[in-house]
């Protein structure tokens, strides 16, 4: 089914995608002429496939649950913001705060993501094929941030328990973020996530792992399962 934003109001398009009748509707949708509009595909709850043909504005796929969204273009601030589950694949670049505060799901960015990628992430897995800007994974609490290119200044500042894997160079680490040993279990986890992003060619041993030194916040081993 094609939804053309030149003909339909954004609210109508989002309402259509938010109220899928599983018995009648098909599962494939294409959004045409996004033209940088904000809040495209927010608040989706069903297991549907959506392809957005073009560049989008802020908060694309925000709060997503279950939906599989492909953006054939660039995304603005806060793609997959507060995503709970599902998958968002950005074929271009992402602006700042990609995957911010997201609890779950999978975000793949084929290009670069700018500053604050994965800020306050709470369980999402993010794979950026290019590089990320400054203050990425700021106060990140849980989940995995994988960057195949470089990371900007103050990576992982005030980090909690997110695992960060960087293949390229890190300009600088933020407060309480340190390089950590890559154990077998980390290599296995990284291999699995790279495979999920169709990046089997990359070797997990070429990445470095970064995490929290646990000096800035009161880490308590009894609560580790919460992260």
Partner 1 sequence: MCGIVGIYLKSKKFEKDLGKMLSGMLVNMESRGPDSAGFAIYKKEKKEEFKYSICINNLVFEKFKKDISKKIKYNSIIKNSDHAILSSKENPEKVLSILNELKEISLVGYGRSIEIFKQIGNPKDVVKKFNLEKFSGTHAIGHTRMATESAITTDGSHPYSTGSDECLVHNGSLSNHNNLRRDLIKRGINFKSENDTEVAAGYISNHLLNKKNLKETLQSGLSDLDGFYTFITGTKKGFAIVRDEIACKPAVISETKDYVAIASEFQAMAHLPGVNIANIFEPEPGIVYTWGN
Contact positions with partner 1 (CB under 8 A) in 79-118: 92-93, 95-96, 114-115
Give the Cβ contact number of residue 167 at 10 Å. Answer: 20
Determine the length of the chain: 227
Distance from C-alpha of 106 to C-alpha of 207, rounded to nearest angstrom? 19
For residue 208, give both structure tokens: 């470095």
Task: Tell me the closest approach of the beta carbon of residue 180 to partner 1, in angstroms.
Answer: 27
Task: Count residues near partner 1 (CB under 8 A).
Answer: 19
Task: Tell me the closest approach of the beta carbon of residue 157 to partner 1, in angstroms.
Answer: 13
3-state SS class at 145: strand
Distance from C-alpha of 188 to C-alpha of 197, rounded to nearest angstrom? 14
Give the Cβ contact number of residue 128 at 10 Å. Answer: 29
Task: Tell me the closest approach of the beta carbon of residue 36 to partner 1, in angstroms.
Answer: 3
Contact positions with partner 1 (CB under 8 A) in 15-44: 35-38
User: Of the listed pieces 41-49, 71-79, 82-90, 210-218, which binds partner 1 according to CB under 8 A?
Assistant: 71-79
User: Of the listed pieces 69-77, 186-194, 195-203, 212-220, which binds partner 1 according to CB under 8 A?
Assistant: 69-77
CA-to-CA separations, 54 to 62, 90, 91, 224, in angstroms, rounded: 17, 10, 10, 41
CA-to-CA separations, 88 to 93, 134, 153, 171, in angstroms, rounded: 13, 22, 26, 27
Task: Tell me the closest approach of the beta carbon of residue 6 to partner 1, in angstroms.
Answer: 10
Task: Tell me the closest approach of the beta carbon of residue 81 to partner 1, in angstroms.
Answer: 15
Distance from C-alpha of 119 to C-alpha of 174, rounded to nearest angstrom? 13
Do 117 and 101 touch, CB atoms closer than 8 A? no
Based on CB atoms, which residue is closest to partner 1, 35 or 200? 35
Binding mask 126-165 for partner 1 (x = CB under 8 A): -------xx-------------------------------
User: Of the listed pieces 50-58, 119-127, 169-177, 193-201, which binds partner 1 according to CB under 8 A?
Assistant: 50-58
Binding site for partner 1 (CB under 8 A): 35-38, 54-55, 57-58, 74, 76-77, 92-93, 95-96, 114-115, 133-134
């Amino acid at each position: 089914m094609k939804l053309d934003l030149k003909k339909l109001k954004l609210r109508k398009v989002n309402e259509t995608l938010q109220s899928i009748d599983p018995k009648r509707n098909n599962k494939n949708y294409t959004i045409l002429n996004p033209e940088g509009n904000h809040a495209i595909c927010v608040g989706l709850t069903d297991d549907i496939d959506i392809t957005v043909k073009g560049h989008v504005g802020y908060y694309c796929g925000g709060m997503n649950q279950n939906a599989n969204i492909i953006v054939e273009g660039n995304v603005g601030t806060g793609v997959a913001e507060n995503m709970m589950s599902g998958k968002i694949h950005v074929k271009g670049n992402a602006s700042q705060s990609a995957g911010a505060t997201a609890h779950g799901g999978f975000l793949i960015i084929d290009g670069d993501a700018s500053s604050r990628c994965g800020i306050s992430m709470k369980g999402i897995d993010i794979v950026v094929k290019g590089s990320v800007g400054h203050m990425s994974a700021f106060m990140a609490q849980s989940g995995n941030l994988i960057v195949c290119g470089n990371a900007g200044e103050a990576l992982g500042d005030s980090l909690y328990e997110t695992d960060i894997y960087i293949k390229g160079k890190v300009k600088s680490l933020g407060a309480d973020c340190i390089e950590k040993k890559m154990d077998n279990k980390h290599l296995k986890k990284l291999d699995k996530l790279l495979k999920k992003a169709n990046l089997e060619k990359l070797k997990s041993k070429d990445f470095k792992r970064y995490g929290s030194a646990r000096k800035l916040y009161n880490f308590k081993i009894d609560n580790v399962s919460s992260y």
